[in-house]
A and B are shown apart, each in its own frame.
Chain A
């Protein structure tokens, strides 16, 4: 079981990357007046047909050949259902996939968001062939982190250079701290 929503995000994005995505958008929207938390991961990977979309929420379905059970999506779907939430997948072959998970923000069973900065950092540094957009909104405050201008500036300097890791970590943590007002 994954104990943080950030780990579920990491897992869902892993599916996107395995589907050949080159651009992944991660949206976290905390709407406290409506008591809703929405997480959306949208990719430009190879997409799925309607039948496959139906099947991916089945734990005994996986596209992988190394292991025969795929638990990531069923776990996340179950987590939404335990929190007055909903889970949906929209996909189009050749276009990409969007996974949306919503939760009652204040629900007692709702997992914490967890360590988002280190999750985004792991994704960005570990998958330098793909571009990422991470948007986080908390009521009227929000920010957007986009790897494209960063990579354009860096040229062929890798994201795993010590100074760059430090820069990325600070950018993400500071932006998040700002919207939380800490």
Chain B
């Protein structure tokens, strides 16, 4: 890691902190992508990539993205959990990269969950 590269990072950090001040605090969302062997075999890395791409391209701040293991619903992989603010967590199944992108745009940003892609237990 070069010094120049860490200087770039410092600028990115300052920018993120500046944006945080003007952001509405309750807009925070949490996205979890399941990445057990079953998820990976079903394409979870591409799902994760689509989520990160959407955040990067649309400059969506304040979204926490985490990875988890197998949750025992292997036949529905790739699985993505979305929690926006204090809402109940939504579990989406068979999340292709296209679906992942739509979930970020419509649910995380737009606040409208996509019911037909959810897993109902």
- A interface list, Cβ under 8 A from B: 1-2, 6-7, 10-11, 14, 17-18, 64, 66-67, 70-72, 75, 115, 118-119, 121-123, 125-128, 145-146, 149-150, 153-155, 157-158, 160-167, 169, 171
Contact = CB atoms under 8 A, between A and B. Distances in A.
Given A154-B9, A157-B13, A163-B16, A66 B52 contact: no
Given A126-B67, A160-B63, A165 B55 contact: yes
Nearest to B53: A165
- Which has the most chain B C-beta neighbours within 10 Å: A70, A154, A157? A157
B1 A126 contact: no
B52 A64 contact: no
17 contacts: A7-B40, A7-B41, A10-B40, A64-B36, A64-B70, A67-B72, A72-B37, A75-B37, A118-B49, A119-B45, A122-B48, A128-B66, A160-B63, A163-B15, A166-B56, A169-B52, A171-B5
Contacts of B71: 66
Given A67-B70, A149-B1, A161-B61, A11 B56 contact: no
Contacts of B72: 66-67
Contact of A64 (B17, B55, B69): B69
Interface residues of B, number: 38
The DSSP consensus for interface residues of chain A is helix
Contacts of B70: 64, 66-67
B6 A165 contact: no
Given A119-B45, A167-B8, A70 B37 contact: yes
Interface in B5-36: 5-6, 8-10, 12-13, 15-17, 33, 35-36
B25 to A, nearest CB: 14
Given A67-B70, A122-B49, A165-B56, A11 B37 contact: yes
Contacts of A119: 45
Contacts of B1: 145-146, 149-150, 171
